[in-house]
Amino acid sequence: MEAYVAVRAHGLKSRLLKRPDYEALARGEREVYEYKDYSSIAARDPLEVKVEKVHRVYVSRISLLAESAPELSEYLWALADKLEFENLKLQLRRVLGGGGRPILYPYGRHVGPVRLSEATEEKELWELALSSGLLERVPKREWGSLAEREAFVDFAYVKHLASAVQRVPASGESRRALLEAAAELCSLVAASWSRHLSPEAVASVARAAGLEVKRPPRGGSPEERLLRLARRLELRYPASLPYAFAFDVYATAEARNVERVIVGRSLGMGSSEILASLLLTSP
């Protein structure tokens, strides 16, 4: 069944946008809705609706993989659950006065965006995340900064993903590769938050989420290193479950890239500025 999921992921990957597509979009030579996967987007849609539809494409792709292999679906859906953790962070910013994205991501396997958006107090948010099963634990009460809370949510997602790996009926080799990928993802989260928090604070937040941080990797941004990790898994495991992890990295990057193109063009940004903001997965 791993091989079947990998085959489906190969097919989905072949439909991802490439650099020439982004260049045409950034210059206004093509519109997003001209691509089949994004045909539900209409030129007249408000900006928020366009962005929501972009991320629905990502969710539909993961859904196709999960439906193709029910016994592996817990792990495949755990990949998409990153959107729920992002929604939790976004609502935390709103509640704590840190600003945030106009809309939440259109996904909610544990707790939907509408229910999250109704929470008006921090305590309510943590209780909602716990009772729904999204979180296994809540952060320390003595933490004073929003950054520590957001970092906790990021580490909690890595823990969530690693726990799903332990339960999935994959081969021993696939399980080891996915656990190693989760460990590297933990280091990448640590590297990202090291820009805002002290090393001691990052390590403390990770332990609160049930993780131990190794020395954050050096050489390139966390985003670039994540792409390199995906590329390694893609090459080493072309016919097993780790390939799905690689595909998820690429599909997530596409969703964020297309959002940046749409928003950038709406703000009147130049094509070079838009392209510079993208995380491109292919030459």
Count up the domains in the chain and report the number: 1
Strand (E) or helix (H) holding 49:
helix 47-68
Q: For residue 17, tell me if it sits in a domain.
A: yes
Q: Which residue type does 53 have?
A: K
Torsion of CA 265, 271, 272, 277, to 10 degrees: 40
Q: Are 54 and 32 in contact (CB under 8 A)?
A: yes
Exposed, middle or buried by CB within 10 Å (0-12, 13-18, 19+), for 109?
Answer: middle
Q: For residue 282, tell me if it sits in a domain.
A: no
Residue span of the structural domain in which 249 resides? 2-276
What pLDDT, on the 0 to 100 scale, is given for residue 220? Answer: 75
Question: Taking all residues of the chain, what is their mean pLDDT, rounded to a whole number?
Answer: 93
Closest CA to 91 of 53, 56, 58, 129: 129
Distances in Å between the Cα of 175 and the Cα atoms of 107, 151, 249 are 26, 26, 18
Q: For residue 209, tell me if it sits in a domain.
A: yes
What pLDDT, on the 0 to 100 scale, is given for residue 98? Answer: 67
What pLDDT, on the 0 to 100 scale, is given for residue 258? Answer: 98
Low-confidence ranges of the chain (pLDDT < 70): 98-102, 142, 215-219, 282-283
pTM for the predicted model, two decimal places: 0.94
Q: For residue 56, tell me if it sits in a domain.
A: yes
Rounded Cα distance, 185 and 174, in Å: 16
Rounded Cα distance, 154 and 271, in Å: 31
Q: In 3-state terms, what secondary structure has residue 179? A: helix
Q: For residue 191, tell me if it sits in a domain.
A: yes
What pLDDT, on the 0 to 100 scale, is given for residue 217? Answer: 62
